[in-house]
Amino acid sequence: MEKIKENKAFIILGVILFILLNYLFYYFRVTFEGNTLAAFNYLFSDPQYLLYAFPLSFNAIDLFIPLFAVAFAVFVMIDKKNNKKKYKKGVEHGSAQWGSVQKDLKNMYDDKDQYNNIILSQNTKLRLDDKDAPFDARRNKNVVAIGGSGSGKTRFVLKPNLLQMNASFVVTDPKGTIVNEVGMALKNVGKYKIKIFNTINFTKSMRYNPLEYVYNEQDILKLVNTVIANTEGKGDRKGEDFWVKSERLLYQAYLSLIISKFPKEEQHLGTLVDLISYSTVKEEDEDYKNPLDFLFEELEKEDSNHFAVKQYKLYKIAAGKTAKSILISCGARLAPLNIPAFRDLISKDELSLDTLGNKGRKTALFIIVPDTDDTFNFIVAIMYSQLFNMLCTIADEKHRGSLPTHVRFLLDEFANIGTIPNFDKLIATIRSRNISATIILQTLSQLKTIYKDNADTIIGNCDTSIFLGGKERSTVKTLSEELGKETIDDSNENRTRSNNDSFGLNHSKLGRELMTTDELLRMERDTCIVQIIGKRPFKDKKYDLTKHPRYKFHSDGKKYWFDIDKYLEALKTPQNQQKRKTSNNQENQVEDVKLMLTTVNGSLEI
């Protein structure tokens, strides 16, 4: 019906042409007594013969009335064309509707290898390795999952994807129970290397030294930025730009000195606190020199262009009283580094973070953080910042832009891990390096509190979002707007009671949100909403963890419980230490050989 209306003018012209031709053939058939061939020969030899079939009248009435009728018809058609209205029947107020997994997700998930998928809900999933998929079926693998407390973010999103065992994982474990429940499955079924960093109980942790991954001055700047962003100075001065800048200079100078001149065993953040404690000043004596002053003087004689020397000289511009205030602020900011157990935790490195994306045996790193205290969040933020930056650099410099093994960051309770500097830029660039991030939040406002105006950029770089339920108003309002409006039919009955009883029924179209805010607030607890860029939204059941093929290896009891104490104790035995050392040396040798061969012959692959 729509096409008929759009081509009405052509249909009318066709009917008129048909009538004229019909009359013409009738005239010639009767005139030439059915001899059509003779009629055509006569017509082509003398075209004026057409005037006999359609005689023209030059009478004024015969001329002007048809001319006026034709002109009026042409005017109406032109005016209608110029003022043509655009109608979309059935979607006048919106075209939103729920998606179909079979129709809308065709080619977007791997139906041959179920483990090559990212699980989103019971029926929706995305292909992890999509190199062979059509271009229009490819998406980045960044996911944002939002759900209030008790909505099942860990059980329905995080754990199912860990059991897929299709990548190396970096997992935020807010209470330290995720590694207990899936660690055994990862270790025995997936043959994963399990690594644990615990900021709740330092004795149940492998050690992590941030300075192990500082290779140049740029890395020092990034490290200092992360420390500043996730710690507080003394009193009101924490917000004063001058004091923060002064602290930066001192941290940069001391860290550069530690990394370039101190013995390997002293290259850790604990030494930074020691240097600050040695940096005494005397307000009444501007010429007083502390041990660090003499040390930097010697370094300047050796190399006047050294980064540490330049930063220290800038810091020393401050007068004695000002310098003392700066040192007090530094001491307050770095107070956690004076705790002996924490200092031991960061004195050495046992995590080998730079191997996460290597080819071969996959790794699962569990970062256990408290969900009630943020005292040590700064060290977790440093780790994440170093991981994102370092893995991108390794991908570019050693693996032609893409890590051999996909690395998935499963960031549960993302708001509790501190601030990762430039995360809005990092999440936009990690896709090409074979890295992805799943950000798990309770509300959108949590992200905006930490990352301010950059929160929208972070969300915008996640092609997939999952809403598991919640009652925070701004979150459900935003989701309702994103889902859009659908067009619905509306009917109104009008009845007038009088001597002449009348009744009327009016039909119209209205726009209605696909789900209103109150409907989202009342959404069933076992239901979630999945949005994938370029596709209609999906309303589906949350993934049933018990239906996963590897759920039998998940620990809901003692049988497959991963004992952190026993695992870490086993790693400390001389036999395992020697085995790990030999294995690491072999891996490094293989990587060196590959790099050498690639340098000699860029086309050679091993």
- For the residues of 293-308, what is the DSSP string, one character each? HHHHHHHHHH-TT-HH
- Tokens 């935020």 label which residue? 172
Same domain, yes or no, for 425 and 517? yes
Q: 51, 82, 113: which is the final residue of a domain?
A: 82
Distance of CA 188 to the CA centre of its chain: 30
The distance from CA 194 to its chain's CA centroid, rounded to whole angstroms, is: 25
- Look at residue 486 in the predicted model and tell me its pLDDT: 72
CA distance 448 to 427: 16
- Note whether 467 and 147 are within 8 A (CB): yes
Q: What is the pLDDT of residues 385-436, one digit of tens each?
A: 999 999 999 999 999 999 999 999 999 999 989 899 999 999 999 999 999 9
* 133 is a domain residue: yes
From CA 380, how far away is CA 430, in angstroms rounded? Answer: 19
Q: CA dist 256 to 94, 292, 348, Å?
A: 59, 13, 18
* Same domain as 335, residue 398: no
Segments in the chain below pLDDT 70: 1-10, 14, 17, 19-40, 42-59, 61-63, 66, 83-95, 233-240, 488-511, 557-558, 574-606
Is there a domain that residue 67 lies in?
Answer: yes
Per-residue pLDDT, 134: 85
Residue 4 confidence (pLDDT): 60
| Residue 26, pLDDT score | 67
In a domain, 580, yes or no: no
- Euclidean distance between the first and final Cα of the chain, in Å? 63
Helix (DSSP H) and strand (DSSP E) numbers for the chain: 24, 13
* Secondary structure element (H or E) that encloses residue 19, with its range: helix 8-31
**β-bridge partners, 510:** 488
Element (H, E) at 588: helix 574-600
The H or E element containing residue 496 is strand 485-496
The verdict on 184 and 218 lying in the same domain is: no
pLDDT digits (tens, 9 = 90+) for 112-144: 999 999 999 999 999 999 888 888 888 999 999
In a domain, 225, yes or no: yes
Question: Domain check: are 236 and 372 in the same one?
Answer: no
Q: Is residue 488 part of a domain?
A: yes
Q: Do 301 and 165 belong together in one domain?
A: no
Residue 39 pLDDT: 67
Give the CATH number, domain containing residue 522: 3.40.50.300
Residues 249 and 333 in one domain: yes
400 shares its domain with 531? yes
pLDDT at 255: 97
Strand 363-368 relative to strand 168-173, pairing? parallel
Q: Beta strands of 276-402 (E only): which ranges?
A: 363-368
- Global pTM reads 0.79
Nearest to 443 by CA among 408, 419, 469, 424: 469
For residue 158, tell me if it sits in a domain: yes
- One-letter amino acid at 481 equals E
- Residue 408 and residue 376 in one domain: yes
375 shares its domain with 517? yes
Q: Cα separation of 592 and 584, whole Å?
A: 12
Compute the Cα dihedral for 509, 510, 514, 520 and give only its sign: negative
Which residues form the domain of 259? 210-342
355 lies in a domain?
A: no
Distance CA(497)–CA(112), nearest Å, equals 67
Same domain assignment for residues 311 and 429: no
Question: Per residue in 556-575, pLDDT tens?
Answer: 766 889 999 999 999 887 55
313 in a domain, yes or no?
Answer: yes
- Number of domains the chain contains: 3
Specify the pLDDT at position 234.
Answer: 45
Same domain, 412 and 491: yes
Q: Residue 596: its pLDDT value, please?
A: 32
Answer yes or no: do 161 and 262 share one domain: no
Q: How many residues does the chain have?
A: 606
